[in-house]
A and B are shown apart, each in its own frame.
Chain A
Amino acid sequence: MTIDPAEARRASEAVPSIPCDAEGPVFREPWEAQAFALTLSLYDRGLFQWPEWATVLGDEIKKAQAAGDPDTGETYYRHWLAALERIVAEKGVTDTGTLRKYYDAWDHAADRTPHGSPIELKPEDFR
């Protein structure tokens, strides 16, 4: 999985609100780029089409606004992440329960890993 510039540009044209500069999408923190790359990768696999993605993302943004999100752009990739979680569940790739299980496992892995060491998931993290 790479962030192919042409692919990234197509995504940013299809989903016009992606924060961009002249060279394509820009990110504030690594997890944002990661969430973006995961989405591109799933698009490559044909899991969804861009208009479909834009609808789900737009819906997540609306929901967040209704819940009081100022929607200044700072939270854009939080909505993106919520849309990603939703679309993989809607497409039957996984479900929220499984994602929760893995979330908790990573949380456990982080907990037992001292600062400065790479955090790795191990079977015992799934209790």
Chain B
Amino acid sequence: MAGHDHDHLHDHPHDHPHDHSHGSELSETQLRVRALETVLTEKGYIDPAALDAIIDAYETKIGPRNGSVVVARAWTDPAFKKALLADASKAVASMGHLSRVGDHLVAVENTPQRHNMIVCTLCSCYPWEVLGLPPVWYKSAPYRSRAVKDPRGVLDDFGITLPKNTEVRVWDSTAETRFIVLPMRPAGTEGWSEEKLADLVTRDSMIGTGLPLNPAELDSKVK
């Protein structure tokens, strides 16, 4: 029983091997977990009111901090950055803070010439292992359709205006290949420790719908 690419295949304009047998995106494992959860709740074995606590646990255990640390390392260690851009799954696994990293994680680097954004046009494939739970808007139809057609418009909605000559490149995730954006290191952070740099790296900056905080923004966030 494969989690993805089962049941019937769909005609897509591009090769996008998802599980798309449903109107919404529940994988076979998600269905099994939901079935268990519902049955156990109805029988009084578990307390559904505490589901929020589990969500909290996801956020701390598989939250975007994992990704922030990876970005901060790439900003300070050129050899790591090279390894990350060559094979992100391997580079992230080498940091040892995660016991497992999904196959084919690809890091895409922002430069003054190019800004990267990630999307999953057909469902909500997302690099869980480095970013945690996807935000609600990432899964929403408007983001999924507009990110490709009008990426600058989407960035505008997020309050991001890029220089006119910066190209915007949109990466469409699949079940097999997920992306993380390596944002540009903010100015004025020379000599900062990895730990302090990681505080600048927001979740959205690793999706490409945001930029890292600058030192002044970090100050105001702390205060």
A interface, CB within 8 angstroms of B: 1-3, 19-21, 23-31, 33-35, 37-38, 41-42, 45, 47, 73-74, 76-78, 81, 84-85, 88, 93-94, 98-100, 102-103, 105-107, 110-117, 119, 121
Contacts and interface: CB of A to CB of B under 8 A. Distances in A.
A34 B33 contact: yes
B99 A110 contact: no
B36 to A, nearest CB: 6
B99 A19 contact: yes
19 contacts: A2-B50, A2-B53, A3-B57, A21-B98, A21-B99, A38-B36, A41-B40, A41-B47, A78-B3, A81-B32, A99-B32, A103-B31, A106-B31, A110-B23, A111-B22, A111-B23, A111-B24, A115-B139, A115-B144
Contacts, number: 153
A42 B27 CA distance: 24
In the complex, which of the residues B24, B47, B97 has the most CB atoms of chain A within 10 Å of its own CB atom? Answer: B24
Contacts of A31: 27, 29-30, 33
A27 B61 contact: yes
A61 B58 CA distance: 25
B45 A41 contact: yes
